[in-house]
């Protein structure tokens, strides 16, 4: 990654700023979007607003009309330039575009994360091959702020892809900032369009927030265009936004001072730990994580119960969990995924879809025995992954394993969304789970809730 010291953003851990210093920092965080049709209008706007801007964003409209002349004309004002062309092409083409942009001295450059890992990595390599003082900061566009987003985790996944591929930051709406900051940590730049002062018109932006909210939620840089450009007094509008940013910075400093870790878990964690936290959030948001007095399928009693069906009823959440579990199981190269119905049926389908393999399911017959029915079969030696929603003691997965081995297929891995076994499981094959949940699993005679007279409930669907 390029040196973050060139980003123009003060990092946590530095000396507490004075009011004057904080306003100077607030100015650095405001990027003026020069979305105007010609150079004369652009020069006039920047000259008017320059005292309150920390940088200039040149987008497709001005660049398409004026080309590199737009960069040269506006660099003359002494402000760094964000060239926002959202590169999205084959890897070699994008790499060459990064080299060309660097020759014009731009500080920030945007690329679409939907271009994929190979494209993003090629851009990062091209940047790293440049002389150190010529390297632009590469920013990955996640999901355009003009689009509605049902699943904030899609934005997080795209930002994490950008980070893994060596980019310096990501561009996302203010509404995903808290999730992004928690997932990506504090060293990753978050650049936020879709910023609108209180009472301003959203125009064609679907996911917006005020400048203060965006800063408090973790944004490093705010890109603001129409609320300044279309204002009756652009200089005053920009200065007002800088004042709001400064107040939010003060709030953020005060808040972080109350806790060594800060309120957004800014410390970068392992990918598995981040996924576990994101999954737990989805479970809680969908009402799938329950606490009380429950009867498990094994007949044991517990103080916690995860009803994954409550989360899996939402297709975007089911798809997300399936993608995460598939990534954990991909290295085993399964040819088929078998899930245990009913609980594992949905997640099994999603894992198989993410892996690009077929999906079967085992179900219980009238006697309660697990079977492959409906014409499902396995060929000898076929590589099989077995998936369930929750592993308590692994009984269903073990039954399904025996079923697969009866057909002389090869079990390469087993997995579940939730592992609540506490290690009390015994599989001969690798086991992957997205989240471990510590929960009691007690016989009725040992259950304190039963002793206290609390009635246990059985929220699952299995009868025996």
Say which CATH number the domain at 12 has: 3.20.20.70
Regarding whether 114 and 226 lie in a shared domain, the answer is yes
Alpha carbon distances (Å) from 136 to 88, 105, 144, 208: 17, 8, 22, 27
Which of 217, 232, 257 is the endpoint of a domain? 257
Regarding whether 158 and 117 lie in a shared domain, the answer is yes
End-to-end CA distance of the chain: 56
Regarding whether 311 and 241 lie in a shared domain, the answer is no
Regarding whether 205 and 86 lie in a shared domain, the answer is yes
Domain membership flag for residue 201: yes
Alpha-carbon distance of 340 to 344, in angstroms, equals 5
Q: What is the pLDDT of residue 202?
A: 53
Q: What is the pLDDT of residue 271?
A: 62
Regarding whether 374 and 250 lie in a shared domain, the answer is no
Domain count for the chain, please give it. 2
Q: What is the pLDDT of residue 13?
A: 47
Regarding whether 388 and 345 lie in a shared domain, the answer is yes
Of residues 351, 429, 349, 347, the one with CA closest to residue 388: 347
CB distance 138 to 127 below 8 Å? yes
Domain membership flag for residue 464: no
Which of 232, 257, 282 is the endpoint of a domain? 257
For 45, phi then psi, to 5°, come to -65, -50
Domain membership flag for residue 50: yes
Of residues 4, 328, 366, the one with CA closest to residue 169: 4
Which residues have a catalytic role annotated? 86
Q: Which domain holds residue 422?
A: 271-451
For 334, phi then psi, to 5°, come to -70, 150
Regarding whether 296 and 200 lie in a shared domain, the answer is no
Q: What is the pLDDT of residue 254?
A: 65
Domain membership flag for residue 188: yes
Regarding whether 26 and 62 lie in a shared domain, the answer is yes
Regarding whether 338 and 243 lie in a shared domain, the answer is no
Regarding whether 122 and 192 lie in a shared domain, the answer is yes
Contacts of residue 170, defined as CB under 8 A and 6 or more positions apart, other chains included, come to 113, 139, 140, 141, 142, 158, 159, 162, 163, 180, 184, 188, 189, 190, 191
Q: What is the pLDDT of residue 263?
A: 36
Domain membership flag for residue 59: yes
CATH code of the domain covering residue 418: 3.40.50.2020
pTM of full prediction above 0.85: no
Q: Which stretches in the chain have pLDDT values below 70?
A: 1-19, 145-151, 199-208, 253-271, 439, 460-464
Regarding whether 283 and 250 lie in a shared domain, the answer is no
- DSSP reduced 3-state for 278: helix
Please report where in the chains the tokens 């000396």 appear, as a residue. Answer: 15
Alpha-carbon distance of 357 to 342, in angstroms, equals 20
Alpha-helical runs (H) found in 344-445:
345-355, 395-406
Which of 223, 257, 291 is the endpoint of a domain? 257
Regarding whether 103 and 72 lie in a shared domain, the answer is yes
């Amino acid at each position: 990654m390029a040196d973050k010291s060139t980003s123009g953003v003060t990092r946590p851990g530095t000396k507490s700023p004075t009011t004057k210093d904080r306003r100077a920092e607030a100015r650095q965080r405001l990027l003026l979007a020069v979305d105007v049709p010609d150079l004369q209008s652009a020069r006039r706007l920047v000259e008017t607003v320059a005292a309150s801007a920390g940088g200039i964003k040149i987008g497709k409209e001005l660049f398409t009309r004026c080309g590199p002349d737009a960069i040269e004309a506006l660099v003359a004002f002494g402000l760094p330039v964000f060239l926002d062309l959202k590169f999205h092409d084959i890897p070699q083409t994008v790499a060459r575009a990064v080299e060309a942009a660097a020759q014009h001295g731009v500080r920030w450059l945007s690329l679409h994360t939907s271009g994929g890992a190979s494209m993003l990595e090629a851009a990062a390599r091209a940047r790293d091959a440049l002389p150190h003082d010529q390297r632009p900061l590469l920013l990955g566009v996640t999901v355009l702020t003009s689009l509605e987003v049902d699943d904030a985790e899609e934005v997080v996944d795209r930002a994490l892809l950008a980070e893994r591929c060596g980019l310096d930051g990501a561009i996302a709406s203010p509404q995903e900032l808290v999730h992004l900051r928690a997932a990506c940590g504090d060293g990753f730049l978050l650049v936020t369009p879709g910023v609108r002062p209180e009472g301003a018109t959203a125009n064609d932006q679907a996911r917006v927030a005020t400048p203060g909210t965006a800063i408090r939620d973790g944004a490093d840089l705010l890109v603001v265009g129409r609320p300044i450009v279309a204002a009756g007094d652009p200089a005053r509008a920009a200065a007002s936004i800088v004042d709001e940013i400064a107040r939010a910075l003060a709030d953020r400093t005060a808040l972080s001072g109350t806790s060594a870790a800060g309120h957004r878990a800014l410390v970068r964690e392992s990918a598995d730990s981040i996924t576990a936290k994101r999954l737990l959030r989805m479970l809680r948001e969908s009402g799938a994580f329950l606490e009380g007095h429950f009867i498990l399928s094994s007949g044991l009693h517990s103080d916690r119960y995860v009803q994954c069906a409550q989360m899996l009823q939402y297709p975007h959440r089911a798809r997300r969990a399936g993608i995460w579990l598939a990534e954990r199981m991909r290295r085993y190269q399964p040819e088929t995924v078998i899930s245990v119905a009913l609980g594992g049926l949905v997640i099994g389908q999603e894992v198989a879809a993410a892996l690009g393999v077929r999906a079967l399911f085992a179900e219980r017959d009238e006697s309660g025995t697990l079977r492959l029915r409906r014409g499902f079969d396995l060929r000898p030696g076929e590589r099989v992954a077995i998936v369930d929603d929750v592993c308590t003691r692994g009984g269903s997965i073990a039954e399904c394993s025996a079923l697969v081995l009866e057909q002389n297929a090869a079990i390469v891995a087993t997995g579940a969304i939730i592992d609540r076994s506490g290690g009390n499981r015994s599989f001969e094959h690798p086991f992957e789970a997205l989240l471990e949940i510590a929960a009691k699993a007690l016989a009725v005679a040992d259950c304190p809730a039963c002793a206290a007279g609390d009635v246990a409930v059985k929220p699952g669907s299995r009868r025996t």
